[in-house]
Structure formats: C-alpha cells, structure tokens
Amino acid sequence: MFAQADYGAQLRIDRPVWLRAKPPQQFRLASRKLHEFTK
C-alpha cells in the first residue's frame, strides 16, 4: 500500500520533468493510433 502510494507521488513529481524533456511525440503517436482504432 505504502509503496504504491509512494510510487504514485514519485510519478506526480517526475511528470513535469519528463514532459519537458520529451516533446509530445509519443502522445501524438498514441492519439493517432487511437484515431485509427476508433475508425
């Protein structure tokens, strides 16, 4: 339980960093795949 909560907090802390480090190419790819899925 505690480890899971700690991991979630870590993710919340790290999110802005890796968002800044990586351009949203992966997100664009994922949305494109989603669009292909929903067609």
How many angstroms separate the CA atoms of 36 and 19, rounded? 24
Determine whether 16 is exposed, middle or buried from the number of CB atoms within 10 Å of its CB (0-12, 13-18, 19+): exposed
Q: pTM value?
A: 0.27
What are the distances in angstroms from CA 38 to CA 13, 25, 26, 28? 32, 20, 18, 15
What per-residue confidence (pLDDT) applies to 1? Answer: 47
pLDDT tens-place string over residues 1-39? 455 556 556 656 555 665 565 556 667 777 777 777 776
